[in-house]
Structures are given as structure tokens and as C-alpha cells.
Amino acid sequence: MKKPIIQKKEAASLIKRHGSPLYVYRKKIVQQRYNELKGAITYPKTRIFYACKANANAEILKLLLKLGSAIECVSRGEVERALAVGFPKDRISYTCSNIPKEELAWLIKKGISVHLDSLNQVEWWGQLKPGSEISVRLNLGYGDGGHKYLITGGDDSKFGIYHADIPKLHRIAKKYNLRIKGILQHIGTHIADPNSLLRGMELVFAIAKEFPELQFVDFGGGFNTPYRPTEKQIDVKKIGGKMSGRFEKFCSIYGRQLELRIEPGRFIVADSGALLGTVMDVKHTRKHIFVGIDSGFSHLIRPALYGSYHHIFNLSNPSGALQSVNVVGNICESADVFAQERKLPKVRIGDLLLIADAGAYGYTMASDYNVRAKPKEVVID
């Protein structure tokens, strides 16, 4: 059974010191998840690039740096933060769509490895740095994910160089004497069926023969983490073993041992974080009990955007009689709902609620909508 990462006494102390609402992260859980994934993939030349769009808190990044992780960034701001906390440039990779040529030039100047996302980006790179090595992101026509917005491959996806354009890619590379050292395919995130990750790998292996100078292959992220009570934790050891064995076999056929790269984000940080909020109001209608807290989708947009489920705990009254409530926020939008018809111990004004599994895509997607300030973040342990 899911348990809160923090109990009432410590939570109340943090709220008193830092204010409500508040994001809280446990370092210990981040470390456990990272080591779990690292230990599961047994292929010797494996590198983990943590996808910091999931959670870019500086203390979390410093911990992952210390643990040996590399970092994957999707904006200049993320690269600057990675450099600021101490990541060396050879442990930073960058991938993003629809960026200006100036940003690409800045990345080249900084010596950052980039997965070029389009033919246009390859053309720009060739103009800026002819005769160099490049990596490219491919869309091989297949995607999967926990929501349609989480699928990053296939015909409906904006990401990557579409597989039908690979001949054009080679022509541009030849024009500027570019050597393709790496290929990336990221099919999506929060993937329920681990076999989808293996299917994605097979598509890469089938196309790899068209890239004879590879040094590494990057399979992106996608490792699932359970949010709903009905969801199960992915068997990381099992899927890691299968990925390792299959990559070893591919390298034997390819003719040399390449580096295997992955880009997990959610799996490492999701269950390490929680959003604490204080109950401001309780309203009754003929149909519902509305429990209103001092946060909203400007702080945690996942339920409104993806219909996502998050466990919610009443830290102040954990043993109260259960009642069915709608937990709602303070944003002036009807979509500002954290949970509908959720059974919680009786909730009273002033109670402290904990919204669990908010360590990934919580604070990083927060905004100041309604001109409400973002919560503070606290890292404990």
C-alpha cells in the first residue's frame, strides 16, 4: 500500500518554516531509483542521461551528478543549470525541436553534444561546424506512452527525423562532411508495456546498418512508474536484462561494441516528491463535497492536462471516517481539480493534505497563472 513520503509532524514543521503550499523531495528515494536502474542494465558500456525536464531542482541534480549520472537537457536554460551545478560538458546531451540557429551555435560553442532533431538542424550544424561528428534523433514510425501527449514517436509526432527522410539526411551529412556518430529514438514516456521498449530497440537495430560510423545508440526513456493503485511497478531488472542481452547481440552483428544510452526521468524522481497543501474551504452541493486547498493546476498541472491520478493523504486526520470528496484548487478554472470522488479520511478546514508522486513534471511545469506565486521546494534527507 502506498504511504506518504513524510508524516504530519515533519510536514507541519516544514510548512511553518517555508509556507504552504510546498514541494518536498526525498533524496533517498532518488538514489534508490537511480541505483535500481543502473544495476538492472548489465551491458558494460551503458550511460544513463537523466532527463532533467522531469525535475530540475539543483539539489536533485547535484545528487545525480554525485551518483555518476549524465544529464539530458531540452533547453538552453537546462544546459546552463546543468553546467552551474557541476556537470562537465561531456556528461551533457541536448535534444529539442524548433530551436533558433543561434541556440544551436551557442551549444556548439559550449561543446555540448546535440541530438539533431530535423533535416534543417543538420543543415545548420553543417554550416556552423562542417567536418564534425553529429548525433541525430530519428522517428522510425512507432510510438507509445501513458497518454496521447506522452507519445513521442510515430506519424503523429513532431519529434525526430522521419525514417523516410534518412536518404536526405545522408545527403546533407555528405555535403558538409558530417560523420553520424550516434542515433537516438525516444518513443514516449510512462509506457505500461515494457515490450514496447524492446520493439523500439528492434526498429533501431534494423536501421543501424545505414549508419556505419556509430559510437552509441540512445533509446530514450519511457520506464513506467505506478501512480494508480491498480498499476504495478515495472520489473526493471527483467527489462534491463532483456535490453542488455539484445544490445550485446546487436553489437556482435554490427561488428563492434557500441555505447548504450538511456534517458530516464520520471522513473528516477516521480515517487520522491510530494506537494503539500492546506485545506482552505469545504463546500457541499447536492452531488459533491468540494475540498479546496491553497494550490492549483498552476503548481501541479498533470491531473488537468493528462487526467493523471495522484494518491492524496490527509496527514492531519489519517484515521478519520472515509468520505468521498473532490479535491480542487485555487485557480479560476473549472479544470482545476486534483481528484474526483476520492475517498479520504474526513477533511476539515486547516488540514494538511499530501499529493503524492509529484516529483516528476510537477514543479518543472508550474506557472504563475492567476499571478499566484510558485511554491518553494525543499529537499530532505
Task: Identify whether the C-beta of residue 308 lies closer than 8 Å to the C-beta of residue 335.
Answer: no
DSSP per-residue letters across 46-81: EEEEEETTS---HHHHHHHHHHT-EEEESSHHHHHH
Task: Identify whether the C-beta of residue 72 lies closer than 8 Å to the C-beta of residue 87.
Answer: no
Task: Identify whether the C-beta of residue 304 lies closer than 8 Å to the C-beta of residue 228.
Answer: no
Q: Answer positive or negative: Cα dihedral of 128, 133, 139, 170.
A: positive
DSSP 352: E
Residue with cell 492549483: 296
Catalytic one among 52, 73, 251, 332? 332
Dihedral class, residue 66 (left if φ above 0, else alpha if ψ from -120 to 50, else beta): alpha
Burial 355-373 (b: 16+ CB within 10 A, else e): bbbbbbbbbbbbeeeeebe
Of 309, 365, 377, 378, the residue nearest 337 (C-alpha): 309
β-strands 46-51, 70-73 pairing: parallel
Question: Known catalytic residue: 52?
Answer: no
* Cα distance between residue 272 and residue 59, in whole Å: 13
Task: Identify whether the C-beta of residue 94 lies closer than 8 Å to the C-beta of residue 80.
Answer: no
Task: Identify whether the C-beta of residue 236 lies closer than 8 Å to the C-beta of residue 223.
Answer: yes
Q: Answer positive or negative: Cα dihedral of 245, 249, 250, 251.
A: positive
Helix (H) or strand (E) holding 113: strand 113-116
Residue with cell 556552423: 128
Residues sharing a CB contact under 8 Å with residue 51, sequence separation 6 or more, in sequence order: 72, 74, 221, 263, 264, 265
CB count in 10 Å sphere of residue 41: 21
Which residues are known catalytic residues?
332
